[in-house]
Amino acid sequence: MRNAFNEMGRVVLAGSLYEVERDWGDAPADDLPTRISQVAVDRYGRLHVLRRGGIPVIVFAGDGRFLFRYGEGRLFDPHGVTIDHLDRVWIADRDAHQILCFSSDGVWLSSLGERHVPHWRAPFNHPTKAAIAVDGEIYVADGYGNARIHRFSAVGEHIGSFGEVGHGAGEFMTPHSIVADRGGRLLVCDRENDRVQVFDRHGATLQIWGGLSRPMDILEQNDGTFLVADQLPSLTRFASNGQRLGRCRPSLNGAHGIAGDQLGNLYLAETAPTSVTRLALLPA
C-alpha cells in the first residue's frame, strides 16, 4: 500500500495532463541510497539517473526495470548529464573540473579538462552541465567558479568563452544548466539571477526569460517548447520566443534535473527527499 508521500496525483501544464508517479524505478536490492542529481533519456527510451555517491549512473528501462549501472571509478562529483543526438552521455564532474563522455551503454569514451585541476576563466572551474549542438559543437556551463560558457569544436578544441560574474545581460551568478536548441541558440539557467538567458553561439544576448525562482534545469521538447524546473518549486513551459504558456507544481522541493521521452512522459530528479518522479502523460 502506498503511503501519503507516494500517493499519485495529477497536474496540468499548458493543457497537458500528467499522472505524478513518485519514487519511480525499481533499483536492485544491493543499490545504496544516494542523492540523485539529474536525469537523461537515450534513444532507446532508457532513463540514465545521475547520482552523487555509490555507482554514479543507474539505468532503467521505460517501464522502470533496472538495467545496469556505470561510471564507478570515473566520476568524482557528478552534477549534470546530457545525452546528445549520437546517443553519447556527457557528464559534468563538477569538483573534478571535467566533462566526461560515455556511450549510452556506459563505456567511457573521452574527457575534457584536467582532472582535479581548476582554472580561473579557462576551462574548467566547477562546471555544471554540457550541451551538444546538432553539428557536434560542445558548450559547457562553467558554473560555480568561472560563471562562463565555453565553446568547443566537435573534436574538443576550445574555440572561445563568454560571460562574467554579475547581474547584467550576458553575466551569470551560477550558470546551472544549458541547452543548445535546434534553432542554434544557447539557453542558460542563470540560477541565482532567477532567469533563463538566451544567446547566439557567439555569446550575444537574444532574450531574457524572467519570472522564475532559482531555475535548475531546462528541457527542449519535441514541439519546440521549453520546460524549466525551478525551486519555487514549479515547472514552467515557455514558447520558443519566451512566452509563458503555463506552470504547475509536480515536485516537492524543486527538481534539480528534468528529462523527457519520445512518448511525452517527463522525469524529474528530486534531491530532497531524493527520488525520481515520473510525470506520465495522459490522453487529452
Where do the structural domains in the chain lie, given as residue ranges? 12-281
Q: How confident is the model at residue 4 (pLDDT cuts 50, 70, 90)?
A: very low
CA distance linking residue 21 with residue 142, whole number of Å:
33
Write the CA distances from 175 to 107, 137, 229, integer angstroms: 28, 19, 14
Strand partners, 38: 50
- Evaluate if residue 164 carries a pLDDT over 60: yes
Q: How confident is the model at residue 284 (pLDDT cuts 50, 70, 90)?
A: confident
Q: Which CATH class is domain 12-281?
A: mainly beta
Which set of grid coordinates corresponds to residue 162?
563568454
What does the mean pLDDT of the chain come to?
96
Residues in the chain: 284
Q: How confident is the model at residue 272 (pLDDT cuts 50, 70, 90)?
A: confident
Model pLDDT for residues 180-199, shown as the tens digit of each residue: 999 999 999 999 999 999 99
Write the CA distances from 139 to 52, 123, 186, integer angstroms: 23, 11, 8
Q: Which residues contact residue 12 at a Cβ distance below 8 angstroms, ignoring those fewer than 6 apart?
A: 18, 246, 248
- Evaluate if residue 125 carries a pLDDT over 70: yes
Could you tell me which of 22, 76, 24, 70 has the C-alpha nearest to residue 53?
A: 76
Angle, vertex CA 229, rays to CA 8 and CA 232, nearest 5: 85
Integer-rounded Cα radius of gyration of the chain: 18
Average pLDDT over residues 142-157: 97
Model pLDDT for residues 90-122, shown as the tens digit of each residue: 999 999 999 999 999 999 999 999 999 999 999
The pLDDT, as a whole number, for residue 7 is: 62
The pLDDT, as a whole number, for residue 205 is: 98
